[in-house]
Chain A
Amino acid sequence: MTGSSVDALTFDCGDPKLLADFWCAALGYEVSDSDETGFAIRDPSGRGWDVLFLIVPEGKSAKNRLHLDLTPPSTMAEEVARLTALGATEQRLVEEGGSRWTVMLDPEGNEFCVLRSRSERGS
């Protein structure tokens, strides 16, 4: 049987515009819709998932159980610097099982990881 399809990845947040602007710049997405309850952003190439940012009353209370892993266009270090300038926070560098990635927080503290680029991974 054909399965469901992913319509969007939704973030609960306090400031949808703040997060939409950050993630648009991070991913090269564009705002596709907005109103007083939230923002929708999409990949102009049509490849990536849509992402929604919806206002919720409660704040973040624990480490997220879901997070995005990103492949940088150039190098991990350059992308970490670019995302930091956009409002993200570098949390820590992890080296594990021959792999390496940087854990970062978006402007509302949502964890995400910047992996090594394809060229840095040698593939």
Chain B
Amino acid sequence: MRARGSALALLTVSPSTIYCLTVDCADPDRLASFWCETLGYERFETDLQAEEVEIRDPTGRGGDLLFVPVPEGKSAKNRLHLDLIPPSTIREEVLRLEALGAAAGEEFEEAGWRWTVMRDPEGNEFCVCARVDGSLGALP
């Protein structure tokens, strides 16, 4: 792969910033608890609608996650998912997240990365990833 320049001309216009990643769900409280434990995030109070739960990284990095109740269930593989780097090895983190209510799926190795596909307690896909050369995350 090679790095490429982006549309520099457009950068002269101030861009939007990501406020949060919103997750449609059946049980915002349960899913927020799972993702707080998974990412080390914390809940915080905002001017939210009833039943909505917002969580953030206490170190201030990255975006917030907002869980909102919707009437419809999940009907297809999500087109968006989070890729996570574990604090330990992939295997240890998969076991920890299974104990929190996630389900582990297939393992892959491709283009210098190894990852395990998982599903959160409402079936949302995410991946636990590490670089095979050990530069990010750890194996096995």
Contacts and interface: CB of A to CB of B under 8 A. Distances in A.
Interface in A67-123: 67-74, 79, 82-83, 86, 96-99, 110, 113-115
Contacts of B79: 11-13, 60, 64, 66, 110
B15 A27 contact: yes
Contacts of B11: 28
A69 B6 contact: no
A11 B4 CA distance: 19
Given A28-B11, A67-B80, A34 B4 contact: yes
A30 B78 CA distance: 25
Contact of A48 (B63, B74, B111, B127): B63
Nearest to A99: B47
A5 B17 contact: no
A79 B80 contact: no
A33 B16 contact: no
B85 A114 contact: no
For chain A, the bracket of interface size reads 35 or more
Contact of A73 (B3, B14, B37): B14
A49 B16 contact: no
Interface of A: 1-13, 21, 24-35, 37, 41, 47-49, 52, 58, 60-74, 79, 82-83, 86, 96-99, 110, 113-115
7 contacts: A4-B97, A5-B39, A10-B81, A27-B16, A34-B4, A35-B1, A66-B23
